[in-house]
Structure 1
Amino acid sequence: MLKKILLMGLVWMFVSNGFAQHGKVAPSGFDVKKELTAYGKIDTITYSSKTVGTNRRALVYTPPGFSKSKKYPVLYLLHGIGGDEKEWFNGGVPHIILDNLYAEGKLEPMIVVMPNGRAMKDDRATGNIMAPDKVEAFATFEKDLLNDLIPFIEKKFPVKKEQSSRAIFGLSMGGGQSLNFGLGNLDHFGWVGGFSSAPNTRQGKQLLSNPEEAKKKLKLLWISCGDQDGLIGNSRRVSDYLKQNNVPHVFYLEPGGHDFKVWKNDLYMISQLLFKDVDYSKLNDLSPIGFTPETNVRRAKYPQVLPNSKVHFQIHAPEVNKLQVDLGKKYDMTKDANGNWTVVTDSIGEGIHYYSLLVDGMAIADPASKTYYGMGRMASGIEIPFAGGDYYALKQVPHGEVRIKRYFSPVLREWRQCYIYVPAGYDKSAESYPVLYLLHGGGEDETGWVNQGKTDLIMDNLIAEGKAKPMVIVMMDGNMTVPGGGGAFSEAPLKVFDRELKEVLMPFITSNYKVKTGRENTALAGLSMGGIQTLYAGVKDSQLFSALGVFSSGWFANQKELTDPQYAFMKEHKDEINRNIKSFWISMGGNEDIAYNNCQIMMSKFDELGIKYTYSEYPGGHTWPVWRNNIYKFSQELFK
């Protein structure tokens, strides 16, 4: 068994021909000239450019069976920074690719225009192609395209002139142009896309200032790139912005680098979609490969997250007899003749998920993924990104620090460890800060709110935006081992936790960190088990805390009678609790949260008792995306 585990750790690898079964790519021979009954035609045209002040050239492809008595939609296909109007013809053989597709009946007849996107008098790709005047000429081409080339094409060729019959796509520099010009001129183009788009691609609102208009006018928005392309960040950035604004689009990730092997495949794919009805729900499964998530260890190509949030696992382990992925649901992997195991999961929800590999029945951590303390042990984790995750993204803002501090606990008679977030400028500042004590859930530890919860990034962004006050956040280990004390929610471990927090940790923090004292400067919050601990410690001594945050938690449903000691205490001290706790913030992950019913019962008792609280709900269940959102919202309410 050890040999098998070591083998897997050493040879987790990409199998180059394994992607085709999970997505769509061009078949072998798609770019090879064949004996056909009819062929399209490529001609060079010359048009007068008032923008540049000279005559300019472009290639025009007309489809097999072209007739001047019929009107055609038009695809404008742009080249890269080192090319010209002949780059697609020489490197991408579009006439061959399209002829073959026409012969198979897969295309809507169209005219393809391949212009020179370097709008200057000397528009050849000679000398320093990165010279400022040549780079600027690619931006100038927008005017040349709109004011000179398109009017010429529409005058000389039988083409449809409406926006829905005009497409613009391009590679590299031309991909950036296509996105810039297409999304910046939605009245002109209904079909827009970039292949391996270069850094000339505009960002965010500059690229697309009116997402709602794009949703109404665009027929297809396509972003694609090779997974080994150094420019992939540009494509991902555009896709992330579109996701954040709920703009439908295809993000097609394919194997390869920055070359025509990728771009020919892109042309093969998009040409079959143009000028037809588009169903985005069916296009989500197009990508043959996925992203390597941030939770992968360095250089690990698998697991991969596909655009539809399915996860593709692949591993080389020829000596293993049975291999499964346990992601809450167990997925059987299949082995090929070379000992390569593969499986694609169902679509997985946003955020981080713990998982294990089951090797002949034994659960182990995946050597290709980072590990986290969860499930009561170290487990592999995989992060599924989602459109709403911008608030915990790593940004160019002042960053605080997370410090690890060890201290001896006389209550537990052992060394303990806590994580402490201090805001940017903490060491240089003479001021003291309010403090939030933040508690993890069952099966996790003090590392959870940082590693899984991204609390430091959330706070960095909020503080930089002025949405939250700078504060110190203390994340303690809430696991209390009490011999004979029962489960984590029973009275004995809760009492020990209460003593550890108030007799040991809080005085330690006050003595060693620049934190303000007093109830108005102190808050307590936790998720799941940590929510129970927050209720137990916070309600009992409300004079210590101005705010309590209870995330995905609540007193157990069988503790629902007002005669229960907890409710009896709250009934007796209702006025004091309401006076002291300025923000009693309760949140749930929707009715799919496993603690939902307990929380509803608890809040009904709070209503009966007259306890004031605020309730928030964020769909997602009992998961880290919910708790990230909880700390994001709760922290903005504190110390104001």
Structure 2
Amino acid sequence: MKKLTLFFVFAIACLSIHAQQALWGAGEIVSPQINSDNTVTFRLNAPQAVKVEVTGDFLSPQKQQTSFGLVDAPGTAKLKKNDKGIWEFTTPQPLSPELYSYSFLIDGCKVTDPSNVYMIRDVASVTSVFIVGGGRADLYKVNAVPHGSVTRRWYQSPSLGLTRRITIYTPPGYEESKANYPVLYLLHGMGGDEEAWIALGRTAQILDNLIAAGKAKPLIVVMPNGNAVQEAAPGESSLGFYKPTFQLPKTMEGSYEKAFPEIVNFIDLNYRTVKAKSGRAIAGLSMGGFHSLHISKEYPDMFDYVGLFSAAILPDKENTSPVYMDMDKKLQVQFDKHPKLYWIAIGKADFLYKANAEYRQRLDEHKFPYKYFETEEGHIWKNWRIYLSEFAPQLFDK
């Protein structure tokens, strides 16, 4: 019996040592390593690989043909292998403060960095991420400030015939307070879902930090799913696990806009909100900008603040739903009610730049007042995080 006990003790000890060795092995390679001068080193253990590259938004973009035309795609850089089979690359220049995403290409096969546990999903692509701190990028960090709460709620949509999920940010102190709060409805782009803004957009971190600095008024942020055929994000609905797709039915044909008051009603019934136009804002990126444009003009008494981030502005002839008809007439009604802020932002290299310029010309011709904010680069999350951090401080008479 004593020998048997000793055997089990020895076996458990061996298993424990093996497990800890596995942990040590995983920690041997540091990647990415942010160096003191803000250059970044990437490493990968792949001794049998013939060619290893890194691709990411920290590299100079390259043009790629898509169904939307030429768009910017992440560039690539080659890693070099040392005598231990470790591939390595250090950026030749320091990186500016920003949240960056990247992947490795091992003999042409794209993979995440096995030494980096921090990843995000954008539609069907999963990439590794890191933050170079400083400047605006500090807004994207979890800092030592009071934190809000992020919840996922389900609501009934009779118009769409679905029970649907939304993501909701409530500001620090909401649970203890008895105050009513204004609401920003923040909409994602095509292929996104109710997880996009909270994960890729760093909404909670940005709002926590802006509110703590006194730069934004405490507010609720509602991030709905803009795909009218979805209950929730892929993997979070009764459909189970399936591969996300970029273009879904009923995304820009009026169904979502018609059903949107159901979301507002749910929030007003279940949260302490300012139940008035002066207490509501709506903004969105790309497809979400398209939705924000049309929802705000369709319900001109609902939102006093409108943000169009790299908005998809489609020609009138492509919009056949009654929601999109009589565009100029509906805009006239909306602007006759004097929204407090109509804010348009886009990057100079965005493939939607020309369409946004033409839309601004349309507003100018009708003397509809708006504010315009322009950045570098294109149709990317880097810009949309900037736009949120610029838009939020302008809301609700802050």
User: TM-score under structure 2 normalisation?
Assistant: 0.74
Residue aligned with 2:334, SS: helix
Residue aligned with 2:394, SS: coil
Q: 1:627 aligns with which of 379, 384, 395?
A: 384
Q: What pairs up with 1:456-475 in 2 under 5 angstroms? A: 456-475=204-223
Are 2:304 and 1:540 aligned?
Answer: no
Are 2:196 and 1:438 aligned?
Answer: no
Are 2:326 and 1:569 aligned?
Answer: yes
Residue aligned with 1:544, SS: coil
Aligned to 1:428: 176
Q: 1:330 aligns with which of 55, 65, 76?
A: 76
Q: Deviations over 1:224-272 (max 9, x none)?
A: xxxxxxxxxxxxxxxxxxxxxxxxxxxxxxxxxxxxxxxxxxxxxxxxx
Specify the structure having the higher radius of gyration (Cα): 1
Q: Which letter maps to 2:355?
A: N
Aligned to 1:303: 32
Q: Which letter maps to 1:398?
A: P
Are 2:116 and 1:358 aligned?
Answer: no
Q: Structure 2 CA distance, aligned partners of 1:437 and 1:443? A: 18
Deviation of 1:514 (Å): 1.6
Q: What pairs up with 1:153-192 in 2 under 5 angstroms? A: none
Q: Deviations over 1:353-412 (max 9, x none)?
A: 332223333322223331112153332223333433344554443322122223454455
Deviation of 1:548 (Å): 0.7
Q: Structure 2 CA distance, aligned partners of 1:478 and 1:463? A: 27
Aligned to 1:606: 363
Q: What pairs up with 1:231-270 in 2 under 5 angstroms? A: none
Deviation of 1:472 (Å): 0.8
Residue aligned with 2:145, SS: coil
Alpha-carbon spacing, 1:354–1:391, altered in 2? closer, same or farther (3 Å): closer
Q: Structure 2 CA distance, aligned partners of 1:341 and 1:399? A: 39
Deviation of 1:564 (Å): 11
Are 2:257 and 1:498 aligned?
Answer: yes
Q: Structure 2 CA distance, aligned partners of 1:445 and 1:350? A: 27
Q: Deviations over 1:310-345 (max 9, x none)?
A: 432111122334433232223333333322112234
Residue aligned with 2:388, SS: helix
Q: Deviations over 1:577-625 (max 9, x none)?
A: 1133221111123x12333222111101111233221112234543334
Check the 8 A contact 1:560/1:602 in 2, yes or no.
no
Unaligned runs of 5+ in 1: 1-7, 16-300
Check the 8 A contact 1:351/1:624 in 2, yes or no.
no
Alpha-carbon spacing, 1:476–1:563, altered in 2? closer, same or farther (3 Å): closer
Alpha-carbon spacing, 1:308–1:551, altered in 2? closer, same or farther (3 Å): farther
Q: What pairs up with 1:262-411 in 2 under 5 angstroms? A: 301-306=30-35, 309-327=38-56, 328-345=74-91, 347=93, 350-369=97-116, 370-411=118-159
Alpha-carbon spacing, 1:414–1:355, altered in 2? closer, same or farther (3 Å): farther
Q: Which letter maps to 1:340?
A: I
Check the 8 A contact 1:371/1:380 in 2, yes or no.
yes
Alpha-carbon spacing, 1:548–1:340, altered in 2? closer, same or farther (3 Å): same
Q: Deviations over 1:403-423 (max 9, x none)?
A: 222345445555533221111
Deviation of 1:428 (Å): 1.7
Q: Structure 2 CA distance, aligned partners of 1:334 and 1:305? A: 18
Aligned to 2:341: 583
Alpha-carbon spacing, 1:448–1:576, altered in 2? closer, same or farther (3 Å): same
Residue aligned with 2:313, SS: coil
Percent identity between the two aligned chains: 32
Q: What pairs up with 1:78-93 in 2 under 5 angstroms? A: none
Q: Structure 1 CA distance, aligned partners of 2:317 and 2:360? A: 10
Alpha-carbon spacing, 1:445–1:492, altered in 2? closer, same or farther (3 Å): closer
Q: Deviations over 1:264-297 (max 9, x none)?
A: xxxxxxxxxxxxxxxxxxxxxxxxxxxxxxxxxx
Q: Structure 2 CA distance, aligned partners of 1:389 and 1:462? A: 12
Check the 8 A contact 1:437/1:473 in 2, yes or no.
yes
Q: Structure 1 CA distance, aligned partners of 2:31 and 2:253? A: 42
Residue aligned with 2:165, SS: strand
Deviation of 1:533 (Å): 1.6
Q: Deviations over 1:7-46 (max 9, x none)?
A: x99955546xxxxxxxxxxxxxxxxxxxxxxxxxxxxxxx
Check the 8 A contact 2:47/2:85 in 1, yes or no.
yes
Q: Which letter maps to 1:578?
A: F
Q: 1:523 aligns with which of 273, 276, 281?
A: 281
Q: Which letter maps to 1:338?
A: K
Alpha-carbon spacing, 1:355–1:465, altered in 2? closer, same or farther (3 Å): closer
Are 2:343 and 1:595 aligned?
Answer: no
Residue aligned with 2:254, SS: helix
Residue aligned with 2:48, SS: coil
Q: What pairs up with 1:24-43 in 2 under 5 angstroms? A: none
Q: After alignment, is 468-477 or 411-420 more displaced?
A: 411-420
Check the 8 A contact 2:297/2:331 in 1, yes or no.
no
Q: Structure 2 CA distance, aligned partners of 1:565 and 1:407? A: 26
User: TM-score under structure 1 normalisation?
Assistant: 0.48
Q: Which letter maps to 1:343?
A: F
Q: Which letter maps to 2:109?
A: M
Deviation of 1:563 (Å): 12
Q: Which letter maps to 1:367?
A: P
Q: Which letter maps to 1:506?
A: V
Check the 8 A contact 1:586/1:613 in 2, yes or no.
yes
Residue aligned with 1:542, SS: coil
Aligned to 2:270: 512
Q: Deviations over 1:459-511 (max 9, x none)?
A: 233333433222111112223448xxx985997644232244323x2222222
The number of residue pairs the alignment matches comes to 342
Q: Structure 2 CA distance, aligned partners of 1:604 and 1:560? A: 18
Aligned to 2:13: none
Q: Structure 1 CA distance, aligned partners of 2:221 and 2:91? A: 37
Residue aligned with 2:174, SS: coil
Q: Which letter maps to 2:352?
A: A
Q: After alignment, is 380-389 or 416-425 more displaced?
A: 380-389
Q: Deviations over 1:401-450 (max 9, x none)?
A: 12222345445555533221111221122222111110123343323323
Residue aligned with 1:389, SS: helix
Check the 8 A contact 2:229/2:250 in 1, yes or no.
no
Unaligned runs of 5+ in 2: 1-21, 57-73, 231-244
Q: Which letter maps to 2:278?
A: E
Q: Structure 2 CA distance, aligned partners of 1:457 and 1:561? A: 37
Q: Deviations over 1:526-559 (max 9, x none)?
A: 1122111211222222221111111122414x55
